[in-house]
């Protein structure tokens, strides 16, 4: 019989990307913070930045370089419209992409919103053993991603494999 695994609380940062939202109406940032803390993880820092790829790179690079940060959740700027440029800003920072994350997210979302989900360029990956999940701006999209993918990936009790358990080995 396999022993029960312990939950490992992770230190997570949340970044909202939006030209129009403020902390007063950042429901998607609020949702992610509530979800991660309800799950037993810790919020290290929250930021809200405009769709400016250099500001996004600077903030996320700082978190990636911080050994105390285990993961980063980003919401917003994944679409095709306006100044959406989260992928252009943050994909260059990744050491490794998480293949299939965006495809899995869109497959799950297809059941909810149909082909509109193809307008989301959600993606995920690893940099300096820090997990980065980039989700759309809408709260319902964040809920789908959190409930169906991210929460399990960050939960060390999840079998057969998850990022929380893998983390100590990512730098070996
Ligand atoms: N921080 C947020 N909190 C709650 N809802 C948001 C937030 N940002 C965007 N939304 C909503 O998400 C939907 C898509 O908006 P918009 O295209 O401007 O988002 P975005 O920030 O460019 O992100 P993305 O293109 O990745 O979805 C809209 O209904 C918008 O009101
Ligand atoms: N689950 C889920 N919800 C989602 C998304 C998604 O990709 N997955 N995309 C959001 C985005 S970016 C938009 S613009 C709207 C699109 O829905 P519509 O069919 O109302 O335009 O759904 C939102 N809700």
Q: What is the pTM of this model?
A: 0.94
Which atom of ligand 2 is the closest one to the Cα of 143? 1
CA 54 to ligand 1 centroid distance, Å: 20
Give 171's pLDDT tier (boundaries 50, 70, 90). Answer: confident
b/e map of 20-40 (b: 16 or more CB within 10 Å)?
ebeeeebebbbbbbebbeebe
Tokens found for residue 72: 């980063």
Average pLDDT over residues 40-47: 98
Q: Specify the higher pLDDT residue, 145 or 2.
A: 145
ipTM: 0.90
DSSP state of 153: H
Residues with CB under 6 A from ligand 1: 16-18, 21, 26-29, 75-79, 81, 84, 136-139
Is the distance from CB of 31 to CB of 64 less than 8 angstroms? no
- HSE, CB side, 13 Å, CA atoms: give it for residue 75: 26
pLDDT at 134 over 80: yes
Which atom of ligand 1 is the closest one to the Cα of 30? 3
What three-state secondary structure class fits 37?
helix
């Amino acid at each position: 019989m396999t022993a029960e695994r312990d939950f490992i609380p992770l230190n997570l940062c949340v970044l909202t990307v939006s030209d129009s939202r403020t902390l007063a109406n950042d429901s998607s940032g609020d949702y992610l913070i509530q979800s991660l803390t309800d799950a037993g993880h810790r919020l290290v820092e929250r930021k809200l930045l405009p769709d400016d790829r250099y500001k996004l790179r600077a903030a996320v690079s700082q978190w990636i370089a911080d050994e105390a940060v285990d993961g980063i959740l980003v919401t917003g700027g994944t679409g095709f419209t306006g100044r959406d440029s989260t992928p252009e800003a943050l994909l260059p920072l990744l050491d490794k992409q998480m293949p299939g994350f965006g495809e899995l997210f869109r497959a799950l979302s297809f059941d909810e919103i149909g082909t509109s989900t193809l307008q989301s360029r959600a993606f995920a990956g690893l940099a300096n053993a820090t997990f980065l999940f980039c989700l759309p701006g809408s709260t319902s999209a964040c809920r789908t991603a959190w409930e169906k993918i991210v929460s399990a990936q960050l939960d060390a009790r999840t079998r057969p494999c998850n990022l929380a358990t893998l983390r100590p080995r990512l730098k070996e």
